[in-house]
């Protein structure tokens, strides 16, 4: 899996599920019958009162990889077709984002929210940002090897830059922007970066403190980033590049308001402060 270019989290996840079914029967998956595989999948699905779709899906994906690596078709195990759920993303209003920024009492938490929303970063991307990735002169953030092992540059808001300068000086940051646990959830050494679980917990706690009833998680801020940029007039093609999407169809789900004329890339924090700061005075 590693040689095929799979990420460490994918290798860990597939390995876990392949090992689980192997231990369940005391045999490797290729020694199982299709009936045994389907019985196991049914057990996984019914293991709890509220079956975890994610666990079920990843088990199927792990088995598919086993078959693929052996040159066998999915029909070999009669694996079910996994239909993608067509759900629209949860999006915060600009006022709700503003409330979250004000509700975050710790400077580190405000900067974390500012990076997630102001740059549209994924959780795995924000936790590994280094000082050398920040270019305050050119107002750019270098995302190094994001999802799909792709680099990209993102605009930094003037408001975020001011906050980051204060934060870096106050916290004596010399490498990782957000320091935390040494090991990630997958057990990999990430040089003392903030853990994924800590980031997720922080976002949920701040949303609760801000009185937001929506189901808010780290990706909600990324969804809001994309939607607000489109509403502010950024074109869909430029947004695709900022989001790091490989396929334009992935970006099209954010097409709430789109204009035909291309606009220079900018951060939604600029229009957020212009709109909300005056209201709060």
Q: Any idea which residues carry the catalytic annotation? A: 122, 147, 219, 222, 245, 254
Helix (H) / strand (E) element for 58: namely helix 53-69
Task: Please provide the DSSP assignment of 219-243 as one string.
Answer: HHHHHHHHHHHHHTT--HHHHHHHH
The number of C-alpha atoms within 13 Å of 232 and in the hemisphere containing its C-beta is: 23
Phi, psi dihedral angles at 165 (to 5 degrees): -60, -45
**DSSP 8-state symbol, 88:** P
| R_g over Cα of the chain | 22
Please tell me the distance from the alpha carbon of residue 123 to that of residue 173, in angstroms, as a whole number: 20
Q: Where are the alpha helices (DSSP H) in 75-172?
A: 94-103, 107-118, 123-126, 158-171
Cβ neighbours around 152 below 10 Å, total: 15
Cβ neighbours around 279 below 10 Å, total: 8
**DSSP 8-state symbol, 152:** E
Q: How far apart are the first and last CA of the chain?
A: 55
């Amino acid at each position: 899996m590693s040689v095929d270019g799979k990420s460490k989290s994918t290798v860990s996840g597939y390995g876990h599920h392949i090992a689980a079914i192997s231990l369940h029967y005391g045999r490797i998956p290729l020694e199982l019958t299709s009936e045994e595989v389907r019985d196991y999948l049914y057990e996984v699905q019914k293991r709890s009162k509220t079956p975890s779709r994610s666990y079920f899906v990843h088990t199927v994906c792990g088995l598919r990889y086993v078959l693929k690596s052996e040159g066998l078709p999915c029909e070999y195990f009669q694996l079910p077709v996994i239909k993608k759920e067509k759900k629209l993303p949860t999006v915060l209003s600009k006022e709700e984002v503003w409330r979250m920024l004000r509700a975050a009492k710790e400077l580190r938490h405000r900067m974390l929210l500012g990076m997630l929303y102001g740059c549209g970063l994924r959780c795995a991307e924000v936790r590994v940002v280094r000082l050398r990735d920040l270019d305050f002169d050119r107002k750019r953030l270098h995302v190094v090897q994001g999802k799909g092992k792709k680099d990209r540059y993102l605009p930094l808001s003037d408001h975020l830059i001011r906050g980051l300068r204060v934060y870096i000086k106050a916290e004596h940051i010399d490498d990782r922007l957000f320091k935390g646990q040494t090991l990630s959830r997958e057990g990999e050494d990430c040089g003392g970066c903030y853990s994924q679980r800590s980031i997720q917990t922080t976002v949920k706690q701040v949303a609760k403190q801000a009185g937001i009833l929506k189901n808010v998680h780290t990706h909600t801020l990324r969804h809001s980033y994309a939607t607000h940029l489109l509403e502010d007039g950024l074109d869909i093609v430029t947004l695709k590049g900022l989001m790091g999407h490989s396929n334009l169809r992935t970006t099209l789900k954010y097409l709430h308001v789109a204009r035909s004329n291309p606009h220079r890339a900018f951060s939604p924090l600029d229009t957020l402060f212009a709109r909300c700061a005056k209201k709060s005075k």
